[in-house]
C-alpha cells in the first residue's frame, strides 16, 4: 500500500457529554432571558455543563475510549494524537499530552493541539489525513473537546445562552480501498476579523490580573450580528468549493454535518446551497454550540442512529473564531469485519 495514494477514512467515533443539563428556564434565573427568547434566536433548548473538576482532557479521554472500543482497538494501536480545542486544560502543556497520559497511549507518538476554535475538528482532520499519507503513521486519533462554560461571561445573555461542553473523537486509518473516506478538504482563515469572536485578556499580551478578572476580560466576547453574516457566507462558499474540487454536486451529498452554532445559520446555509434542511442533522437544541466538539457529536449521533450508511457522501463544514472555516467531503466507509 502506497500511503501517499491511499484513502484515509473514519474507522470509528466516540462522544462524551457531561451529565448536568442547563435548560433555558435555568438560565432565566441567572441572567435576563427566557426560553422563547433563546429558542427564537438560536434554536437551543438546553446544553450540558461540565463539573468544576471535569476538564477538557477528561471529556476527551472518555470520548476517545469509546471510539477505541467501537473500533475494537487498544491504546497502543494509536500512532498519532491531535486534539482540537479553544479551551485547553491549561495554557501549557498541550491538552493532547495530558490526554495521551490519561488514555495510556504509547510514549513514542506525537501528541499536539490544534487551535482553530469551532473549525478545530475540520483543521485536525486535514492535519491527521496528511500525516497519515506521509507514510510515517498508520492510525490517528482526532479529538475535539471543549469546556466553554469556563470561559463564558454568565452576565452576558448574548453569549452565555449559546454554548455548552462536550467532546467527540474519531479514529482515522489508511485503507487501500479507492475512492472512500476523506475525498477532499479546504481550509481558510481571516485574521482581520479576529475581534469578532475573541477574549481580551488571559494571554501573554495581557496577562490575567485581579482587574482583568473583575472586568471579565478573559471571557468570550462576540459580535453576533457580524458573525452571523460571515458564517453563512463562508460556510456556503466552503461547501461549494470542496464540492467543486471533488467534482460532486450538492444533490449527490446524503448528509451535511455543519458546526452546530445557531439554527438560523443552518437554515440560511441550507437555503444558499438549495438543499432541504432535513439533510442537515442537528442536535443543537440539546447541546448548544460545543465549538470543536460539535461536528463529531453530530456526526456520531447520525452514524449511531443509522442515518449515515456505507457509501454515503457526507460533507462536514464549520466556521469559528480567527476567523477560521473549513469543509471536508468524505464517502462513508464501513470496513468488512
H helices within 162-293, ranges in order?
210-214, 224-246, 263-273, 284-287
The C-alpha atoms of residue 135 and residue 4 are separated, in whole angstroms, by: 7
Residue 289 bears catalytic tag: yes
Catalytic residue among 118, 219, 239, 246: 118
Half-sphere CA count of 63, side-chain side, radius 13 A: 33
Listed residue (154, 200, 195, 140) closest to 47, CA to CA: 154
The reply to whether 259 belongs to the active site is yes
Pairing of strands 324-331, 313-320: antiparallel
Grid coordinates representing 88 are 485547553
Distance of CA 305 to the CA centre of its chain: 19
Q: What cell does 94 get?
A: 498541550
Q: SS3 for 82?
A: strand
Candidates 160, 259, 262, 333; catalytic one: 259
Our measurement of the distance from residue 281's CA atom to the centroid of its chain's CA atoms, rounded to an integer in Å, reads 15
Instruction: Indicate which residue of 24, 55, 185, 289 is catalytic.
Output: 289
Element housing 145 (H / E): strand 139-147
Q: Catalytic residue numbers? A: 118, 259, 289
Amino acid at each position: 500500500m502506497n500511503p501517499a495514494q491511499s484513502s484515509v477514512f473514519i474507522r470509528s467515533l466516540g462522544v462524551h457529554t457531561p451529565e448536568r443539563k442547563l435548560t433555558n428556564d435555568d438560565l432565566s434565573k441567572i441572567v435576563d432571558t427566557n426560553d422563547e427568547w433563546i429558542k427564537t434566536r438560536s434554536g437551543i433548548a438546553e446544553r450540558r455543563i461540565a463539573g468544576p473538576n471535569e476538564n477538557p482532557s477528561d471529556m476527551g479521554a472518555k470520548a476517545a475510549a469509546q471510539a477505541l472500543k467501537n473500533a475494537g482497538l487498544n491504546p497502543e494501536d494509536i500512532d498519532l494524537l491531535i486534539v482540537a480545542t479553544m479551551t485547553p486544560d491549561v495554557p501549557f502543556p498541550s491538552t493532547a499530552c495530558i490526554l495521551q497520559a490519561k488514555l495510556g497511549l504509547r510514549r513514542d507518538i506525537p501528541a499536539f493541539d490544534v487551535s482553530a476554535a469551532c473549525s478545530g475538528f475540520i483543521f485536525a482532520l486535514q492535519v491527521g489525513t496528511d500525516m497519515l499519507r506521509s507514510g510515517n503513521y498508520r492510525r490517528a486519533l482526532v479529538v475535539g473537546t471543549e469546556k466553554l462554560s469556563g470561559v463564558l461571561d454568565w452576565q452576558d445573555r448574548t453569549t452565555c445562552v449559546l454554548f455548552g461542553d462536550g467532546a467527540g473523537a474519531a479514529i482515522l486509518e489508511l485503507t487501500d480501498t479507492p475512492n472512500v473516506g476523506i475525498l477532499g478538504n479546504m481550509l481558510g482563515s481571516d485574521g482581520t476579523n479576529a475581534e469578532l469572536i475573541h477574549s481580551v485578556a488571559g494571554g501573554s499580551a495581557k496577562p490575567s490580573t485581579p482587574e482583568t478578572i473583575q472586568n471579565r476580560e478573559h471571557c468570550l466576547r462576540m459580535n453576533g450580528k457580524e458573525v452571523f453574516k460571515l458564517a453563512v457566507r463562508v460556510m456556503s462558499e466552503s461547501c461549494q468549493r470542496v464540492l467543486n474540487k471533488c467534482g460532486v454536486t450538492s444533490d449527490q451529498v446524503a448528509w451535511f454535518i455543519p458546526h452546530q452554532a445557531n439554527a438560523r445559520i443552518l437554515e440560511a446555509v441550507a437555503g444558499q446551497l438549495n438543499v432541504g434542511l432535513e439533510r442537515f442533522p442537528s442536535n443543537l437544541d440539546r447541546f448548544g454550540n460545543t465549538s470543536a466538539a460539535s461536528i463529531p457529536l453530530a456526526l456520531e449521533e447520525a452514524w449511531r442512529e443509522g442515518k449515515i450508511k456505507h457509501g454515503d457522501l457526507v460533507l462536514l463544514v464549520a466556521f469559528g473564531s480567527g476567523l477560521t472555516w473549513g469543509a471536508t467531503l468524505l464517502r462513508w466507509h464501513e470496513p468488512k469485519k
